[in-house]
Chains A and B, each alone.
Chain A
């Protein structure tokens, strides 16, 4: 039985995948493709409470805690953001709160996303990361005490 890859290992995989692309067009094609494949979020979760603030597009993010791991589901009305969400879920979902809180997520910079997306938009990405980490922190505080 293979152990689930660590956050750092998944990040490294993504960086390696992106290294294969010659152009930004190819990178965006890939991100858009990820966005298209992201499973839709059930309608009941698309509420104001689940909206991530600070994005130009609408992003809904929900989380779940099972057997010491945090699981995320999310969707957006914009395709590229959806692709980025898909990558964040791939990296963070299924890990412990501590691992998620401590994740450096250097891959975002290494694949060129923070420099390539304008500040206002990368803020949306950062807002998403922050929200995902906040969920992890809440689970940690809630279940560490118990």
Chain B
């Protein structure tokens, strides 16, 4: 009994790795070390199987057909909606909108909520550590409406300066759109506090959960966020699917995003009445296969256990941080006290691109560059970083490979 309890508290990484076929690959003659999980995670066999099974057994267009295949496909598609509702602890399934990804979710809100509710003189708050996808849609909206974009600064550790945030909040603030976990720094932002302060000022909050949803337990009701977006492909699911959560009354009051099939109730050439939530925002045939496989991915994460995954990743992060800090001239960018699964660094006199090429030559996949966060790189006065980002299947041995790869690269380059 005790033994069983002990086993269940820690992750069996070996067993997990066996479920990800790509991890057996060799790259440049060496075993693949995949440390680019913040860009996209690898997919377990079950997710790949779900896609194949859909196309092999019940491929059909959903919601309209009355034949067996259409009913099966519709049921599976809608089961994912229920799974996502449960995953986010949303109040109702109608609050779950399927999109192409987190980026489309943000754009949907900027378009359908923003164009109706943002006016000249209004203010939208974002932060220095936003991904371009949480900057550009608001910039475009602000330019169109004569509104202005305010930016929460960060300290040298890569943490938001909350006192500065409070100063930015005011009667003109309509929306705060903030990243939950930074893709470039790993910083975990105190979104609960950010949300309550915004609400006190009468502003809504969108949380960009692209990086957080794979690591943290997300409870949109406890957070009380107004919108939450995430992407399937960063949570072991397929690319091309994302989720927008929105509070029902907000989604109901919003304008439409795209017109077409699925999103209508009745169409004549004089007038169209729109469908109810969530279909109002899901024009056209959706990405059925990948949406169905998203449920498989969520089930996989839930069965593995987020708490176990978090513990495993936290111990790897601590180990990697400790090992990296011992390399000469290496500086970690982003040393927030609350940090998750991402480790970004620069090495004196060495360009990240050179490190990326030489690590790849040893089968090690990392990300180099600005990580779609150019304003953040400017804040640190660097052109970019090398970033290793962790997932449930990474091991201590892989961190050792990274370290020895870096040592070799440093020797070659200096």
CB distance from A31 to the nearest CB of B (A): 10
Encoded as 1 (CB less than 8 Å from any B CB) or 0, chain A from 43 to 78 comes to 000000000000011100000000000000000111
A118 vs B360: C-alpha distance in the bound complex, in angstroms? 9
Whether the Cβ atoms of A78 and B353 lie closer than 8 Å is: yes
Please pick, from A25, A28, A81, A116, the residue contacting B353 in the complex, using a CB distance under 8 A: A81
Contacts of A79 in B (CB 8 A): 350-351, 354, 413
Quick one: which of B361-406 are within 8 Å of A by CB? Answer: 361, 368-369, 383-384
- Asked if B357 is an interface residue, CB under 8 A from chain A, the answer is yes
Q: Chain B contacts of A118 at CB under 8 A?
A: 360
B88 close to A (CB within 8 Å): no
**Total A-B Cβ pairs within 8 A:** 41
Q: Give residues 29-46 of A contacting B (CB, 8 Å).
A: 29, 32
Nearest A-chain residue to B362, judged by Cβ: A25
Report whether B361 and A80 are in contact in the complex, using a CB–CB cutoff of 8 Å.
Answer: no
Q: A52 to B350, alpha carbons, bound, how many Å?
A: 20
CB of A51 to closest CB in B, whole Å: 12
B357 touches A80 (CB 8 A): yes
Q: B116 within 8 Å of A by Cβ? A: no
Shortest CB–CB separation between residue B185 and chain A, in angstroms?
20
Contact with A along B48-77 (1 / 0, CB 8 A): 000000000000000000000000000000
The residue of chain B having its C-beta at the shortest distance from the C-beta of A24 within the complex is: B361
- Nearest CB in chain A to that of B351: its residue: A78
Checking B350, B353, B383, B412 against A121 with a beta-carbon cut-off of 8 angstroms, the contacting residue is: B353
The distance in angstroms between the C-alpha atoms of A58 and B28, with both chains bound, is: 27
Instruction: Give the residues in chain A near B254, CB-CB below 8 Å.
Output: none
Tell me the dominant secondary structure on chain A's binding face: helix
Per a CB cutoff under 8 Å, which of A24, A32, A58, A80 touches B383? Answer: A58
Whether A19 is near chain B, meaning CB under 8 Å from some CB there, is no
> Do B412 and A29 have beta carbons less than 8 Å apart?
yes
Residues of A within 8 A of B (CB): 24-25, 28-29, 32, 56-58, 76-81, 116-118, 121
Does B361 lie within 8 Å of A28, measured CB to CB?
Answer: yes
Task: Report the separation of the CA atoms of residues A24 and B358 in the bound assembly, to the nearest whole angstrom.
Answer: 9
Residue of B28, B351, B358, B369 contacting most chain A CB atoms (<10 Å) = B351
Q: Select from chain B the residue with minimum beta-carbon distance to A118.
A: B360
Determine the distance from Cα of A77 to Cα of B28 in the docked complex, in whole angstroms: 26
Cβ–Cβ < 8 Å partners of A25 in chain B: 361, 412
Given B350, B351, B358, B369, which contacts A28 in the complex, CB threshold below 8 Å? B358
**Within the assembled complex, what's the spacing in Å between the Cα atoms of A24 and B28?**
9
Q: Which residues of B contact A32 (CB under 8 A)?
A: 354, 412-413
Query: In the complex, what distance in Å separates the CA atom of A78 from the CA atom of B351?
Result: 5
CB contacts (< 8 Å) of B351 on chain A: these are 57, 76-79
Residues of B within 8 A of A24 (CB): 28, 361
B258 CB to nearest chain A CB (Å): 30
- Whether the pair B360, A80 counts as a contact (CB closer than 8 A) is no
Q: A56-B368, A57-B351 are in contact. List 18 more A-B contacts (CB 8 A).
A: A28-B361, A28-B412, A32-B354, A32-B413, A56-B353, A56-B369, A57-B383, A78-B351, A78-B353, A79-B351, A79-B413, A80-B353, A80-B354, A80-B357, A80-B358, A81-B353, A118-B360, A121-B356
